[in-house]
Chain A
């Protein structure tokens, strides 16, 4: 009897230890993930002299919003240091936003058409198309940048957001097509057939039946396109030159490579650049996971 009790005690004790070890691991991972980001975030609320203190003050002594406010009022107090980048931050946010949303929208339209045909039709050249889409996903951007630059220059579209959007669409479309193809394939055909038999045209069927059903896939595709466009630096730095089209990563890189910049302002611009993708990531967490793993894991 006592032996049995001792054994069950032993088992409980073991389970507790295991649970504590797991939680410890979880805490460790959390610190790894959050610590660098938190330091950036905290710096953005610091006064410059506090941020430059040795040893560092981990928690801002008297937190301030002045870094954030100076972006709205670039001509004011701190115009001497990093002023160019300050002026460019808000237009940069706006440009990034337009480029990213534009990329997402065009992606959805073109991606839906191509993805649908690949999901539903068997035709000559289907394999070749799939190969081209897959292959163009593999091309490194750096390999295309010179001819792209020359082409866009020839069109007179340097420093125009249109050129950026067109470029981003080209680079995100293959992934969008694959993603949507997989989504459409998972939707039963009977749904479409019923709508067509009820007298819908193909377009009506798409808009009223198929697309609403595939909504999670569409959102996921739009989000990935948005993020790729938002994150891009290589194309943006080559194809843009003024606030007419400079995007946020270019502005942030300008801060980071400028030694005269105030570090707290630099950190703040970084935080601003992170907000939109972070909000999207949290909002659509489950869709991201689904999207990233579609095609990765077989059903």
Chain B
């Protein structure tokens, strides 16, 4: 009942020109947020703190009784180990490759699908196919394609006379990383296309007409008309793709399991190995925290840029 009357008051306030409804309903608003906040605190907030605590302890499930406080010991151990730096470097390589390929392919396909041609509608629908495929299935599908003995990629390249003998794409460091990147990109491109295409469709056609009248070349039209209108969507694609590349787990698990050797062992994969293979929960959580710090740091930078540009709305 109080709720109801509160809202009616709001309505009157607005007509008075306050513009903001519900000034007097903070409790109700907080109540509405309570269930969500409880869930998030219980299953995200508490774990992230717990994780920090574990990362400050020596805690290995192989010796479950030992839970000794070691301060930043795990972090120091991590920063001194070449494995960490190798995993960090591979993460950077992997992320840069995935993000740049997704952006280039995404812009290309979005520009294409923004033009009129017969069959465009069908391609716009089909672009959803890779997006709908779960990453695990994506990894399994590419594993089947890359197979060194009976794989479709080998079969195709051989019948086209590009290679003379079947190759183990996943058993050689460089090609394994590239194969992994390619598989992930295939899965991720549609999201970029959808976001970029929506942005392209909002560019007023008159701008191009005006540009053409002024004698602008196609490149100039892209540089001075298309690009500025695309910038915001592009930034969003960059954020989403960077985050998802750093977190990549499923596809690595199925496709390469971090190998051959450590050629595709990213930080996320290293975290998993340390935690669930070596059962070193202390060090594993220190790894996990490094991943969080890097992700959140990047997120903050991106949001600052968005905010500065005035694109960020609440």
Listed in ascending order, the chain A residues whose CB lies under 8 Å from chain B are 19, 22-23, 25-27, 29-30, 32-34, 36-37, 39-40, 43, 51-56, 109-111, 113-114, 116-118, 120-127, 129-130, 132-136, 138-148, 150-151, 166-167, 169-171, 173-174, 177, 189, 192-193, 196-197, 201-202, 227, 230-231, 233-234, 238, 248-249, 252-253, 255-257, 263, 266-267, 270, 273-274, 277-278, 280-282, 285, 288-289, 292-293, 295-298
Q: A29-B112, A170-B43, A173-B40 are in contact. Are A277 and B134 (CB under 8 A)?
A: yes
Beta-carbon contact of B7 and A202 below 8 Å = yes
Contacts of A281 in B (CB 8 A): 128-129, 131-132
- Taking the nearest CB of chain B, how far is it from the CB of A146, in angstroms? 6
Contacts of B30 in A (CB 8 A): 117, 123, 125
CB interface residues, B 198-231, toward A, < 8 Å: 198-199, 202
Beta-carbon contact of B152 and A56 below 8 Å = yes
Contacts of A249 in B (CB 8 A): 134-137, 250
Contacts of B271 in A (CB 8 A): 142-143
Name B254's contact: one of A116, A256, A289 (CB within 8 Å): A256
- Taking the nearest CB of chain A, how far is it from the CB of B301, in angstroms? 12
Q: List 28 A-B contacts (CB under 8 A).
A: A22-B117, A23-B118, A26-B123, A33-B127, A33-B130, A36-B142, A123-B22, A125-B30, A132-B40, A136-B45, A140-B292, A142-B271, A142-B288, A143-B48, A143-B292, A147-B50, A171-B44, A196-B11, A227-B132, A231-B135, A233-B135, A249-B135, A249-B136, A249-B137, A270-B140, A273-B137, A278-B132, A298-B232
Interface contacts beyond A151-B50, A196-B11: sample of 13 additional A-B pairs, CB < 8 Å, sorted by A: A23-B119, A27-B119, A39-B141, A40-B144, A54-B155, A135-B296, A151-B43, A193-B11, A233-B249, A233-B250, A274-B132, A278-B133, A292-B194
A/B pair count, beta carbons within 8 Å:
314
Beta-carbon contact of B129 and A116 below 8 Å = no
Binds A, one of B31-39, B72-80, B95-103, B169-177: B31-39
A292 and B190 alpha carbons, distance in the complex (Å)? 11
**B63 interface hit (Cβ, 8 Å):** no
Q: A123-B22, A143-B291 are in contact. Are A55 and B28 (CB under 8 A)?
A: no
- Taking the nearest CB of chain A, how far is it from the CB of B164, in angstroms? 13
Q: A143-B48, A144-B47 are in contact. Are A114 and B7 (CB under 8 A)?
A: no
Residue of chain A at shortest CB distance from B141: A40
Name A114's contact: one of B32, B127, B276, B311 (CB within 8 Å): B32
A192 and B129 alpha carbons, distance in the complex (Å)? 39
Contacts of A130 in B (CB 8 A): 314
- Taking the nearest CB of chain B, how far is it from the CB of A241, in angstroms? 13
**B284 interface hit (Cβ, 8 Å):** yes
Contacts of A263 in B (CB 8 A): 144, 150
Beta-carbon contact of B134 and A54 below 8 Å = no
Q: A117-B29, A139-B48, A231-B135 are in contact. Are A43 and B144 (CB under 8 A)?
A: yes
Beta-carbon contact of B141 and A270 below 8 Å = yes
Give the secondary structure class of A's interface. helix
Looking at B22, B42, B136, B303, the one whose CB has the most chain A CB atoms below 10 A away is: B136
Listed in ascending order, the chain B residues whose CB lies under 8 Å from chain A are 3-4, 7-8, 11, 14, 20-23, 25-26, 28-30, 32-33, 35-37, 39-40, 42-48, 50-51, 54, 109, 112-113, 115-120, 122-123, 125-137, 139-145, 149-150, 152, 155-156, 158-159, 166, 186, 190-191, 194-195, 198-199, 202, 232-233, 236, 243, 246-247, 249-250, 253-254, 257, 268, 271-272, 275-276, 281, 284-285, 288-289, 291-292, 295-296, 299, 303, 311, 313-314
Looking at B46, B113, B134, B236, the one whose CB has the most chain A CB atoms below 10 A away is: B134
Residue of chain A at shortest CB distance from B290: A143
Beta-carbon contact of B194 and A289 below 8 Å = yes
Q: A114-B32, A141-B247, A255-B140 are in contact. Are A148 and B155 (CB under 8 A)?
A: no
Beta-carbon contact of A256 and B131 below 8 Å = no
Beta-carbon contact of A298 and B311 below 8 Å = yes
Contacts of B50 in A (CB 8 A): 147, 150-151
A55 and B29 alpha carbons, distance in the complex (Å)? 65
A127 and B198 alpha carbons, distance in the complex (Å)? 28
Q: A256-B254, A281-B131 are in contact. Are A144 and B141 (CB under 8 A)?
A: no
A277 and B115 alpha carbons, distance in the complex (Å)? 28
- Taking the nearest CB of chain B, how far is it from the CB of A58, in angstroms? 8
Contacts of A127 in B (CB 8 A): 314
Q: A123-B25, A147-B50 are in contact. Are A33 and B291 (CB under 8 A)?
A: no
A173 and B158 alpha carbons, distance in the complex (Å)? 48
Residue of chain B at shortest CB distance from A131: B314
Beta-carbon contact of B136 and A253 below 8 Å = yes
Q: A37-B141, A122-B22 are in contact. Are A117 and B33 (CB under 8 A)?
A: yes
